[in-house]
Structure 1
Amino acid sequence: MLLRFISAASLAVAVIANSAAARAEYPERPISYILHVSPGGATDIMARKLATLLEKSLGVPLPVENKAGGRGAAQLADLKKAKPDGYTIASVTSTHIGAFNQTLKQYNVDSFDWIARLVNEPYLVVVRNDSKLKTMKDLVDTANAKPGSVVMAGFVRGSGGHFAWEIMAKAANLDSGKVRWVPFDSVGDAVTSVLGGHSEVAIAYVDLVKNHVTAGNMRVIGVMADERVPQLPDAPTLAEQGYKADTSWQQMRGVIGPKGMPDEIKEKLANAIKQALEAPDMKTYINESSLVPAFLGPKEFTEYAKQQDALTKQWMQILSLER
């Protein structure tokens, strides 16, 4: 009996040791990086820059796959069925948390492993340069005078950008339903809609509109931040225009994985991501895009996601009471 016990114990130790050794060798093959947006948007651009840096530090390819549509439904379906072995990761933003509470109720913040938060970023209200809307007051007055006449482009309903607009509208004492919200598969598509004259206004980010503003094709009429962004010094904040919106609501970008990933692998990925975010090229990109460095590791990111989930639920209750 004693010999059998010793043999079983030795086998268990060997299995654990072999498993630990295998994880220590991670990664040994390509890591799929699945995005919820179409190519060209803000999330897509940063993800590809991150993937390039991670390929160098991890020593394996990180092919980026765009699975747009359904507010992340296609992306999350692939992620959910993937093995939690660290060879499939995915993009995540505040929009996902909104979708968990609306159209994707089959998921919640506990359905996935939260690996690392990358950055936060302020929301902008942009129009084409020839728009009659010169200020946020123009937008509010036009919407009140002719409900439905202002068409606003953004990511899908319930996304972080959509909630940002609701927060802005509340600060302006405007019934947000007086502005017609048109959802797109990416914020980049929303910006394109404004440039093409199909929508008058868009909720966007600095890196997607900066070049258009510099070229004189677009104008920022409001920034949801405490201070003006350095890259767009002429763009006024909402507060400067008399609208005291909650600027703590920011878009978040991060990385998640299938539920049940080994802690060692999550930590290795998070450390590699942190190193990538500190690379000179990435720091330059983050600065030029007016993104806010906001790295969080697995434990802290999980706690943050749960806090954002609670805040999202609060806003959903507010909106349901008002509609």
Structure 2
Amino acid sequence: MTHRSRRAWLATAIAALSFATTTLPAAAQANYPSRPVTLIVPWGAGGGTDATARIVGSLLEKELGQPVTVVNRTGGSGVVGHAAIAAAPPDGYTIGMATVEISMMHWQGLTELSGASYTPIGLVNIDPAGIQVRADAPYKNVKDLLAAIKASPGKYKASGTGQGGIWHLALAGLLRDQKIDPAAVGWVPSNGAAPGLQDMVAGGVEIAPVSLPEARSLIDAGKVRSLAIMSDKPSALYPKVPTLKSETGSDWTMAAWRGIVAPKGLPKDIHDKLAAAVRKVAASKEYTDFMASRGFGVIYAGPEDFAKFMAKSDQELGATMKAVGIAK
């Protein structure tokens, strides 16, 4: 082979390789998904985010025709899991369940990530905070608890999420609303509601300001008592639990939300397929029945509305975090 022919052969090989590398992804996209999908959950097993992700994952399997493996990536007050979602290849094979904390973590300086760091797929859940105490706690109602905190600042501790997480903010905002220093109750970080509730039952903390669905098993077991819900209407799960407003006159409300996201740069055809699948899941009887049985709130917003929802959540929570001294 002459020098010229070797150069011609090399040029042809490079062109062929270049053509292959540009056409293979398109072929892969057309066949998406051709292998299992991973659904990352930034919080621990047993909590509300984990339960919601697992029902969504199981129903997505039917829509996508491939296994969907739920993986809990905990740590860093939610940063580890959210970062893992954002850092994954934007090929549709790694998606995640973003939680309300993505609108909060950057305000604390924990990460630069925000809702804008992802490709939004669909908002699927929203749940208000509550005030949970041990069943043998001496407080008859939330007014008794607030009076005890005011009388002995520093005596009480609470848990249920990471430092500066949504349930921390829910309690801090309530205390501020009631003219009590938010620092009057120490916060013990946890990897979600489930470990926070277990710590409370074991006597490590006195308060878990988590949602009613997350506390359900312990409430039904007679180990936890709910004093109030931070919503403008009672819970469908426990309608006898009073609203905060009915107990104290306060208008303070706070809720967690959860939605499916993917890394930035997701190809449009894969995005459209995932969005359509999540929309079907959120509207399915299996999903709504499961969520109702757990007392979880069902909400749906498609990609564009979900992006707007996250942006609004970011602004509102940032303002509240600054007001209670959680933001840096």
Q: Is the 8 A contact 1:168 1:243 kept in 2?
A: no
SS at match of 2:232: coil
What is the 5 A alignment of 1:190-229? 190-229=196-235
Q: Is the 8 A contact 1:37 1:185 kept in 2?
A: yes
Residue by residue over 1:65-111, the C-alpha shift from the partner in whole angstroms, topping out at 9 and shown as x without a partner, is 11100022322332233211111111111112111222433323322
How many aligned residue pairs are there? 309
> What is residue 73 of structure 2 aligned with on the other side?
67
More moved, 300-309 vs 224-233: 224-233
CA distance in 2, matches of 1:213, 1:80: 36
What is the 5 A alignment of 1:17-96? 22-96=28-102
Q: CA deviation at 1:246?
A: 3.2
Q: Does 1:125 align with 2:125?
A: no
Q: CA deviation at 1:321?
A: 9.8
**Aligned counterpart for 1:168 among listed residues 156, 162, 174:** 174
For 1:167, give the aligned amino acid.
G
More moved, 83-92 vs 270-279: 270-279
CA distance in 2, matches of 1:108, 1:95: 9
Unaligned runs of 5+ in 1: 1-14
**Aligned counterpart for 2:291 among listed residues 249, 263, 286:** 286
State the structure with more CA Rg. Answer: 2
SS at match of 1:155: coil
CA distance in 2, matches of 1:19, 1:322: 42
> What is residue 16 of structure 2 aligned with on the other side?
none
**Aligned counterpart for 2:193 among listed residues 175, 178, 187:** 187
CA distance in 2, matches of 1:168, 1:243: 12
Q: Is the 8 A contact 1:37 1:44 kept in 2?
A: yes
Q: Is the 8 A contact 1:101 1:108 kept in 2?
A: no
Percent identity among equivalent residues? 29
**Aligned counterpart for 2:266 among listed residues 257, 261, 284:** 261
**CA-atom RMSD, angstroms?**
2.3
> What is residue 246 of structure 2 aligned with on the other side?
240
CA distance in 2, matches of 1:41, 1:216: 18
For 2:158, give the aligned amino acid.
M
More moved, 51-60 vs 265-274: 265-274
CA distance in 2, matches of 1:219, 1:106: 38
> What is residue 6 of structure 1 aligned with on the other side?
none
Residue by residue over 1:284-308, the C-alpha shift from the partner in whole angstroms, topping out at 9 and shown as x without a partner, is 1211333222111111111111111
SS at match of 2:312: helix
More moved, 133-142 vs 19-28: 19-28
